[in-house]
């Protein structure tokens, strides 16, 4: 089989650089071109010295990436992918957007939460939401894939089996989530400045985070009913990782055995979902540098509450790894390809 020519637009941001790391180990991929506005004409290894001799490609223009590639990944801030996606669509190229431009189905939600509009409504109707464990059949063969974000991957994966089997009430769901600082992007701010973040831990964008409507959209699709959640993200003083602790009221008569069976059945055969053994809990360290989502569930019988915890690497399953997984499904490749590197122990 000939190799797939792929390109990365925005290769010097954290998500783009992580994507490059994964694609360098993908046996069916040839990296055709990579681009950056801030570091154009520099070698990627000048920006990230760990790539020296692995990849010393010169960062070029977005136009060159599109011209040389059959699959284009865009790791750009919201609002910058729509025009590029339209160009790729006209040239019948696969476009996988790691940004937020195509994630929300309702334009009113995009206007409210992102302050932008849909430049081409027909294009948005063609986009498929790329959370493989739920929408694998829709992703296959598609040309425009909206790659989910980190919280929006961790929370639905934690709750899906309970929702699928109608084991929990859909009102009053709480998602209490923690993220490593790479989720804030490469550009420094006051809140992720080392003296502010180190030995600190705090909530941010309480009940106002942009991932809220995306999480609700996925949960509503899975349940067939409108779902509203309380979502509170926190920033951890670590580089990478998401830990999502989700609380939901059990329906009358639901037992712990019902919950355990539902999760085992729902995720049977899912290569990138690992249910942790009873008595253990998911940890961010166990999923670092991997495309796995570790999930643990506990039933608080005293209060009738489901506590579902998921852990992912926000840079891999929450961004670049899931994008590679989506490409594999889209092109009919082995879904695991390029994603089974054993992570470091420490």
Q: Which residues contact 103 (CB under 8 A, 6 or more apart)?
A: 129, 146, 148, 149, 152, 214, 217
Active-site residue flag, 150: yes
Q: How many CB atoms lie within 10 A of CB 237?
A: 15
* Alpha carbon distance 208, 66 (integer Å): 35
Contact of 202 with 233, CB cutoff 8 Å: no
Catalytic-labelled residue, pool 150, 246, 293, 330:
150
Show the tokens assigned to 299.
């039933």
Contact of 23 with 29, CB cutoff 8 Å: yes
DSSP-derived secondary structure for 196-257: HHTT--EE-STTT-TTHHHHHHHHHHHHSS---EEEEEEE-SSSS-EEEEEEEEBPTT--HH
**Active-site residue numbers?**
150
């Amino acid at each position: 089989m000939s190799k797939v020519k792929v390109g990365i637009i925005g290769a010097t941001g954290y998500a783009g650089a992580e994507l490059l790391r994964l694609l360098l180990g993908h046996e069916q991929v040839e990296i055709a071109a990579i681009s950056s506005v801030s570091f154009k004409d520099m070698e990627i290894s000048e920006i990230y010295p760990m790539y020296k001799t692995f990849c010393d490609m010169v960062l070029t223009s977005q136009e060159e990436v599109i011209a040389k590639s059959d699959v284009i990944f865009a790791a750009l801030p919201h609002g910058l992918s729509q025009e590029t996606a339209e160009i790729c669509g006209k040239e019948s190229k696969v476009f996988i957007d790691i940004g937020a431009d195509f994630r929300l189905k309702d334009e009113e939600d995009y206007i409210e939460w992102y302050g932008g509009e849909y430049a081409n409504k027909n294009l948005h109707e063609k986009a498929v939401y790329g959370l493989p464990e739920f929408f694998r059949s829709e992703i296959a063969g598609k040309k425009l894939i909206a790659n989910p974000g980190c919280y929006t991957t961790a929370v639905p994966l934690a709750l899906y089996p309970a929702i699928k089997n109608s084991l929990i009430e859909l009102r009053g769901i709480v998602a209490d989530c923690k993220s490593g600082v790479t989720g804030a992007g490469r550009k420094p701010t006051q809140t992720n400045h080392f003296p502010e973040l180190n030995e600190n831990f705090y909530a941010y964008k309480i009940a106002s985070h942009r991932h809220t409507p995306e999480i609700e959209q996925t949960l509503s699709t899975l349940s067939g009913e409108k779902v509203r959640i309380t979502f509170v993200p926190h920033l951890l003083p670590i580089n990478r990782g998401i830990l999502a602790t989700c609380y939901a009221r059990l329906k009358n008569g639901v037992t712990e055995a019902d919950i355990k069976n539902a999760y085992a059945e729902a995720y049977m055969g899912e290569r990138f979902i690992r249910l942790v053994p009873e008595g253990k809990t998911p940890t961010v360290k166990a999923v670092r540098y991997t495309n796995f989502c570790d999930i643990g569930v506990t039933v608080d019988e005293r209060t009738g509450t489901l506590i579902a915890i998921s852990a992912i690497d926000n840079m891999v399953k929450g961004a670049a790894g899931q994008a590679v997984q989506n490409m594999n499904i889209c092109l009919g490749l082995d879904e695991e390809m390029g994603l089974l590197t054993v992570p470091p122990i420490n």
